[in-house]
Structure 1
Amino acid sequence: MNTASPTPPRTDTRAGTGTDPTAFPSLTVVVCAYTLDRWDDLRAAIGSLRDQRPPVRETVLVVDHCPELRARATAAFPGVRVLANDGRRGLSGARNTGVAAARCEVVAFLDDDAAAEPDWSARLLAPYADRAVAGVGGLVRPWWATRRPPWFPREFDWVVGCSYRGLPTHPAPVRNFIGANMSFRRSALLGAGGFRTDLGRVGTRPLGCEETELCLRIADRRPDAVLLHEPAAAVRHHVPAARATWAYFVARCYAEGLSKAHVARLGSSRAALSSERAYLRSTVPRAFVRALRPGLPGGLRTAAALVGGVTATVAGYLVGRVRRPAPAAGVRDPAPSAAPVAGPAGGAGGGRP
């Protein structure tokens, strides 16, 4: 069990956000958890929601098929609705359970190993004053349990579920969000049919892209909808030592390629890979040139990581395009996706480009 995770550092940037609760839509925050091993992280996540201004109207903790965790959380978190995932095992099923139970206008998702800054709710909710905005996602800062590996490219922070270099640094429309820190109008989530349960993480299996696929469906259903990246809505995401290794880096990149192949098969491959093309054409080459600058410590290792990460991701994608998985029983099958929202390529679904 994880007992060595201190509370992440916090920065109070509340000034100037306007915290009159009547100025914002009501907010349900859904946190999904599946293991007692991240108990200290979960306590930090729930604790960060109690400090929000405007207050979070409702916190829903969905426990994914772990009765021991559900019993402990029910006793430890008064005022939090603790529910069992009533769908298929995995993150998507747990999120769908939370959406179905939510009572507020906006549903936000916070990872069980992430902690929100005190002004997170205000920054996340303010853009909803524009009725065209169907969703708002925020910045995910890595909080390394040890230290950042010197070779780890910031352009690949999506590997550990965090915002990466190349995302917009100011509010801007994006194709999809990072799963650790995102929100949607509940009506948009329900209208799109929720998260596909044949995509996404189950336990420690490093697959994903369910957020990307959902955002594509929201945009397909309502082409004028805006999915807005708001960097001021920030959370800190715990990165354990096990994810700071070369083995995890390569495995995660390969799994990302597999996931992207599945998303491309479900709908328009052009839409599903629009951000990735821009990432490979622009973000990665600039990073490679930067890494090879004379005198940069660890530059050659970073350049090698860039090449290795791209290679592993492409390999996973090619394998995924050839290998067609059989549909699983009980999988939700919403309408296929089409074109993404117009605007800069951005947000990583579940921390991916």
Structure 2
Amino acid sequence: MTAPAFSVILATVHRPELAVAAVRSVLGGTWADLEILVVDQSRDVRTREAVTALGDPRVVYLHSDVTGLSRARNLGAAHARGSLLAFLDDDAVADPAWLTAYSAAFATLPRPGMVGGRLRPLWDAPRPAWFPAAHAFLLGLYDLGDARCEFPPRDLPIGANFAIPADVLRRVGGFEVTLGFDASRSGSLVAGEDTALGLRVRRAGLRVLYEPGAAALHHVSSAKLTPRYYLSRLYWAGRSHVRTSRLVGSPGVLASDAPHTPNRALPAGGPAQRIAQVAGRAAVLAGAAVELLSSRERSAGGAPG
């Protein structure tokens, strides 16, 4: 069987309706030379049944009893046959030209080592005016406008929507399994697996591009629009920053600092946003401090880090 140009990898857990909508959006696009690997970590059969019911031979269902977003993505990549790997979150919906735009980006020279797409919101609840535009990445949103360009020095592609050549992913070692959301880590929101991957690609001397045509809509649930979630995510962003630094070197500025190039995914402005951003910076610094102290205690006690 001839290998497809693209392997789309979609990790999911207990969200069959969203996962099927994501798969349908890719199948309904303008690019047909593809396979979709759905990596399911659910404890029931609903997702398996929903994916199988699609009846499309380009869709491959994989199940893993081992949890973790990074592990799911690594499993999908290990089974992928395409030379280009595209990653989409299970709660995102790809634009019809999604893979066509990625193909065009990878055709530029020198070949990029990684390309990130545009992510706009699909609100499941009204957007609160206080949520800072500078922290749109917490909601999986990213928009630099309509022109293809190099990613700004402080930014890297968001894991919800990006693509990478399979040989580059192997070269940089895949996804770091100690980072990324994992249901088995009770109470933990450690992320950073996409940042670690992007850093390794950059440090390999490869280009990292933003491709606006590779666009997707990303569901934003009401649970992510509360002050408690906002501060919790930034606290864990601080901890993730420290862990990423230990693994691959400093990822740059803390997540509380605004990037040089504005992320246009959310409208900016207003005193409420400024107050929330100050509170968010404090949460990031607190998380970073706790992680530094915890790592020192583990080192002093001889426990594994």
Residue ranges of structure 2 left out of the alignment (5+ in a row): none
Residue ranges of structure 1 left out of the alignment (5+ in a row): 1-24, 292-298, 329-353
The alignment status of 1:190 with 2:175, answered yes or no, reads no
Q: Match for residue 252 of structure 1?
A: 233
In the alignment, the residues of structure 2 paired with residue 304 and residue 56 of structure 1 have an alpha-carbon distance, to the nearest angstrom, of 48
CA 1:240–1:322 in 2, change beyond 3 Å: closer, same or farther?
same
CA contact (8 A) 2:256 2:277 kept: no
CA contact (8 A) 2:254 2:284 kept: no
CA contact (8 A) 2:13 2:41 kept: yes
Q: Match for residue 315 of structure 1?
A: 286
Q: Out of 66, 77, 92, which is 1:114 matched to?
A: 92
In the alignment, the residues of structure 2 paired with residue 321 and residue 78 of structure 1 have an alpha-carbon distance, to the nearest angstrom, of 50
In the alignment, the residues of structure 2 paired with residue 265 and residue 202 of structure 1 have an alpha-carbon distance, to the nearest angstrom, of 19
What letter matches 1:159 in structure 2? Answer: L
The alignment status of 1:273 with 2:252, answered yes or no, reads yes
In the alignment, the residues of structure 2 paired with residue 155 and residue 318 of structure 1 have an alpha-carbon distance, to the nearest angstrom, of 22
After superposition, where does 1:49-198 map in structure 2 within 5 Å? 49-79=26-56, 80-85=59-64, 88-129=66-107, 130-163=109-142, 167=144, 170-174=147-151, 176-198=156-178
Percent of pairs with identical residues:
32
In the alignment, the residues of structure 2 paired with residue 125 and residue 283 of structure 1 have an alpha-carbon distance, to the nearest angstrom, of 26
Structure 1 segments of 4+ aligned residues over 3 angstroms from their partners: 274-278, 280-284, 325-328
CA contact (8 A) 1:201 1:207 kept: yes
CA contact (8 A) 1:168 1:229 kept: no
| CA shift for structure 1 position 112 | 0.2
| CA shift for structure 1 position 258 | 0.6
What letter matches 1:227 in structure 2? Answer: V
Superposed CA RMSD in Å reads 2.5
CA contact (8 A) 2:256 2:281 kept: no
User: TM (normalized to structure 1)?
Assistant: 0.74
Tell me the number of residue pairs that the alignment of Structure 1 and Structure 2 aligns. 284
CA 1:216–1:317 in 2, change beyond 3 Å: closer, same or farther?
same
What letter matches 2:48 in structure 1? Answer: A
Q: Match for residue 234 of structure 1?
A: 215
Could you list the per-position Cα deviations for residues 205-253 of structure 1 after superposition, in whole angstroms to 9, with x for gaps in the alignment? 4321101111212233x21x11111122110000111111111111111
User: TM (normalized to structure 2)?
Assistant: 0.85
In the alignment, the residues of structure 1 paired with residue 254 and residue 237 of structure 2 have an alpha-carbon distance, to the nearest angstrom, of 14
Q: Out of 25, 30, 36, which is 1:48 matched to?
A: 25
CA 1:238–1:276 in 2, change beyond 3 Å: closer, same or farther?
closer
| CA shift for structure 1 position 57 | 1.1
In the alignment, the residues of structure 1 paired with residue 76 and residue 10 of structure 2 have an alpha-carbon distance, to the nearest angstrom, of 8
Q: Match for residue 199 of structure 2?
A: 216
Could you list the per-position Cα deviations for residues 118-172 of structure 1 after superposition, in whole angstroms to 9, with x for gaps in the alignment? 11111111111134311111011111111111111222111111116xx465322
